Amino acid sequence: MNTNNTSTSCTAKPVSPDPEKQLEILKLKLQEKEAALASGTEEVKSLREDLKARQAKIAEVRQLLTGYDAQKLQRQLNDDNKVITTKSGIADAALKDKKTVIDTAIKMFDEKLYAQGRDVDTARTNCMKADEETKAAVDAAETARRTFEESKNIPIKFDAWLKDTKAALDQAIKAETQGDYVALYFLTGEAQQIVDKFKADPILSDDEYKNSLDAKLSDSDTTRENVNAKKAIADQALKDLNEKAKNYDAAKASRRTELLSILKKL
């Protein structure tokens, strides 16, 4: 067997879609739809928006490619590697055994910097969690507020149901006197449907209604206070994140200066 032959894969390499061709296809689809449908239809509107978005993306890609020169970048990288090889050789020869001490100092400094970055990540997680808890507290407070408002309207609701029932029964009684039994049947059925609502939502005693109002009012107050507490925690978490991120960014920016100062004292 000749091992020098170049082997080829049986699986065809996937071809990346050409955005320019996709744009042309989209244009043709739009033209077809515009010819078949009125310009004001939702489908045409959607295609227009899709076309506009695709054009914007393609323009963005073209702009990015304008200043990109792979060969120039590779030449610069090759030149940099040559300089690194030459200069690091000179430094190695001059420093000899001191390199170990320098490498250790750099490692320790970067470990502290890495830990500082982890603290920022933790602070960001805490900040996001505090925001989520604040949103949940706001939702709970709004639900409690609506529940209390609905409870305040219970007498109005019951009164409306009973008035509607009486109106239906008055019409039913009138229909009976006129011998209109179809209307009598229908209207008594309507009245029964209204009365049945009280089975799921029964009339509370005076004390029960008062206790219910007191409980819902207390719940509304408690959830509102919880919102304030959660907001305070979220504000502190954001403050902590901003402070840690600011210090970390400053530490990263001054890394070389700080390290050089330390290394020169070794």
Q: State residue 3's pLDDT score.
A: 47
Tokens linked to 127: 């900040």
Q: State residue 37's pLDDT score.
A: 61
- For residues 59 and 61, give the distance between their C-alpha atoms in angstroms, rounded to a whole number: 5
Architecture of the structural domain at 98-263 = Orthogonal Bundle (1.10)
Q: Structure pTM?
A: 0.60
10-60: per-residue pLDDT in tens? Answer: 444 555 667 777 888 888 888 877 776 655 677 777 888 888 888 999 988
- Provide the residue ranges of all domains of the chain, joining segments of one domain with +: 98-263
94-106: per-residue pLDDT in tens? Answer: 998 899 999 999 9
Tokens linked to 216: 């819902």
